[in-house]
Amino acid sequence: MAQRQTLTEKKRNRIIGWWSAIGLLCLVGWQQGNPALWGLAILVWGYYQMFAVPTLCGVETSRGTPCRFRAYGRLMACTREPSHDVDKRNVLLRLIGLGRPQRPITAPAAGRPRRAGSAAAMPAPPFEAASIESKQLFLAIVSIVITAIGTIATIIQTMTA
């Protein structure tokens, strides 16, 4: 009777499976001499880096430290805090100039009913833009740039071949 795999073994096997597929695509592209196959390998690597690589969340918590819960993909956040997904997406979109500016939280405090006219009298609470751990941000940017350059180079090679 087969034993159940531990979480570590499942994680290791998932990583081995992804890198085997990427390596196989590279090998087939090299053997065939077809630039389109190299482009497919680069796109699979880019997908793996953005959406499947086991990593840590990295969103700055209220204590000022990066979140240490697991996430899968450089663009993805942990599932324990729903706000982390929104924060991480906003930081990455603001980085490329597409994000909206941060808004202060306007919801009433828990357990206290909101009084009529109280929102206009109180100033907006100060807020800081959410941030991502610098290592996570750097790896996401590098992965996006390498994937874009590789895809463009493959398209150009395919068109000129």
Between these two residues, 34 and 58, which has the higher pLDDT value?
58
Q: Which distant-in-sequence residues (6+ apart) come within 8 Å of 59 by Cβ?
A: 66, 67, 77, 78, 81, 84, 87, 88, 130, 131, 132, 133
- Residue type at 79 in one-letter notation: T
- Asked whether 85 and 61 are in contact (CB, 8 A), the reply is no
pLDDT at 24 over 70: yes
- Asked whether 77 and 68 are in contact (CB, 8 A), the reply is no
What's this model's pTM, rounded to 2 decimal places?
0.67
Q: Which distant-in-sequence residues (6+ apart) come within 8 Å of 149 by Cβ?
A: none
pLDDT digits (tens, 9 = 90+) for 75-125: 888 988 888 888 888 887 777 777 666 655 555 555 555 555 555 445 544
- Asked whether 50 and 143 are in contact (CB, 8 A), the reply is yes
Averaged pLDDT, 126-147:
77
